[in-house]
Amino acid sequence: MKFDYPKHVRFKCDRCALCCGDTEEKIRQVLLLKAEAIQISEETSRSINEFAEAMERSDPFVYRMKKNEGKCVFLRVNLCSIYDIRPVICRFYPFKLGDLGRHKYVFSYTDECPGIGKGDLLRKSFFEELFKEFLKSMDANQRSE
């Protein structure tokens, strides 16, 4: 599998939690793989229905995280209460991985994130780690089927 990535981007998370909730411009959806929902349920001792709602989709994301007042149910004073087990979509933000077919992928990003343009120039190794997270998540999801 191959991937392409943005070559001249800087990023440093400001921990602003913009990505964890709705804004005036955007309604956010934190999508979950089945394996992620199961893991969160097990780790938090909460039923999946307490924090997520099922979606009828054909791709691997089958749940959507619920919100309280437009923010993720696991956001506590701008901090993620499930940070160590947060969904892959959260681990990637502000980056996204697009499937080009034929085992080729491309990373893109949104500049709505205030952390874009800050920090060090990201190297290929940063995206390699994200890609490994993607593969690990997809593997865990297949095993949960």
The C-alpha atoms of residue 18 and residue 67 are separated, in whole angstroms, by 14
Decide if pLDDT at 145 tops 80. no
107-to-73, 125, 131, 133, 137 alpha-carbon distances in Å: 27, 13, 9, 13, 16
The C-alpha atoms of residue 81 and residue 44 are separated, in whole angstroms, by 10
Share of the chain above pLDDT 90, in %: 82
Alpha helices (H) in the chain, listed in sequence order: 34-44, 48-51, 88-92, 124-144
pLDDT in tens, 59-93: 889 999 999 999 999 999 889 999 999 999 999 99
pLDDT in tens, 40-67: 999 999 999 999 999 987 788 999 999 9
CB count within 10 Å of CB 10 equals 12
In this predicted structure, what is the pLDDT of residue 144? Answer: 81
In this predicted structure, what is the pLDDT of residue 113? Answer: 95
In this predicted structure, what is the pLDDT of residue 143? Answer: 87
In this predicted structure, what is the pLDDT of residue 124? Answer: 95
In this predicted structure, what is the pLDDT of residue 128? Answer: 96
In this predicted structure, what is the pLDDT of residue 56? Answer: 86
